[in-house]
Structures are given as structure tokens and as C-alpha cells.
Amino acid sequence: MVLAACFGATGCGSAKHEMTPQQTEQRAQLADEDSKVAQTAQAYKAMDNAGLLKKLGEQSAHKREPFNSLAYRELVTRKDVDPKQLVAMVNESKNGDALLPLLLLRQLDQKTYAQVPVEVKASVLTDALEKSKTFNTWGLPNFYLEDASKALLECGKAAYPALRRMLSDTRPAPVWGGGKLRAASQQYGYRLCDYALFFLKSEPGQPSFVEPAAAADRDALIKAIAK
């Protein structure tokens, strides 16, 4: 890891620079964390599909993002995952706990995914959206959309009743991260109702609607369609 290799040095090429005890400890901690991450990733690679699917269900229930789920990240690379097992996981709950199996099915087998009733897909996706505490799983309206948002847009009118219910929920919808991501999130101050507004105003599969930057302007649009 470059950060660990150069930690505390005035210049990466300065061999004579001596690190303080605190810097030495921090460097060791970073190296240890890198080692643990690598070992965990290898452990997931060594699992069979059954073990990974069990982990996937657990991580989905704990609201792990697809990119933050080691089970999802490993399974999406495999070509021998039984789509029927993913369908069974979705049908078992039909709520937000099945988000990762649903999104994995969408990635691995579009034909089987299309056979899942749109009402079931909408139920899983809207329940996951409504119960989200952080919203990296969905992306940021106006900026970029994750697969969960794209899947929700594909549901069209089947998702509208649940989305309309969310229009009255003004709790914050934060994302974690830094740089442009954090700046955009702070600029707009998105709320759950703003995500609902975005999905309701966008055409199915075509997120062309641009949300106003001012919350007051978004509230006016919400009031107009909530009647």
C-alpha cells in the first residue's frame, strides 16, 4: 500500500528520514489492516457458492452496499451461480433484506431477472430505499446512479405507491465518502423525500429529471405531485 510505504516521510525517496514511534505504529497498523483485508478476500474466494449465498443473505439483511459486500463481489465474478437460488432468496422475504440477491440476479441472469414479477422487485427495492440509513447504495440524483437506482427506475409505476408514501419523509439521506461526493451531498442536503421525488419524476429507465438544488424548490414539486 503506497500510503503505508510513504507514511510520515517528508519524501518517499528520503531513506535517511526516521519515523517517530507513533508513525511507526501507525504504519504497522496500516500494514496489518491490508493483510487482514487480503486474507478475508482470499477466504471468500475459497468458499463454495452455497457458503457465499449464505453470507450474501446475511450481508443483505445488514444493509451492506453491493460494493461493500465481499460475498456479492465474489459471486458476481462467478458463472455457475444458480439463478433459482437467488430467486428463492428474493421470494423468501420480498422486502429490503433481499436487495443484494435481487441485484446479483440482475447482473448475472437478465432472463431470469425479467421473470421476477415487477411488483416483487418494486417491493424489495422501495423497502430497501425507505429503510436506508446511508444512501451510497443508490448514488446521488443528478450526479450518478448505482445499480439499485437503475433497477428501481425500471420498475416504473409498480414502485409509485411506495414512493409517494415517502414524499412526506424529510429525514436526511446522507452518503459517506469524501471529495466531490461529499461536496455534492452537502450542497443539496438530500432527504428521503428527494430520492422519492427523483424516482417519481424520472421516466422508467430514463433518469432525465434534474432535481432543483434548493430544498424549497424540491418541496414545491413534492407538494404538487403529493396532492
Same domain, 123 and 112: no
Q: What is the tally of structural domains in the chain?
A: 2
Task: Name which residue leads in pLDDT, 134 or 15.
Answer: 134
Query: What average pLDDT does range 109-121 have in this prediction?
Result: 98
What domain range includes position 111? 40-116
**Other CB atoms within 10 Å distance of the CB of residue 176:** 11
pLDDT of residue 21: 72
C-beta separation of 137 from 65 below 8 A:
yes
In-domain check, residue 182: yes
In-domain check, residue 148: yes
| Res 214 pLDDT > 60 | yes
172 bridge partner residues: 191
In-domain check, residue 209: yes
Task: Name which residue leads in pLDDT, 35 or 141.
Answer: 141
In-domain check, residue 21: no
Q: Can you tell me the distance from the alpha carbon of 106 to that of 131, in angstroms, rounded to the nearest whole number?
A: 21
Q: Can you tell me the distance from the alpha carbon of 156 to that of 39, in angstroms, rounded to the nearest whole number?
A: 42
Same domain, 219 and 124: yes
The last residue of a domain, from among 63, 81, 116 = 116
16 burial via Cβ count (<10 Å: 0-12, 13-18, 19+): exposed
pLDDT of residue 34: 52
In-domain check, residue 28: no
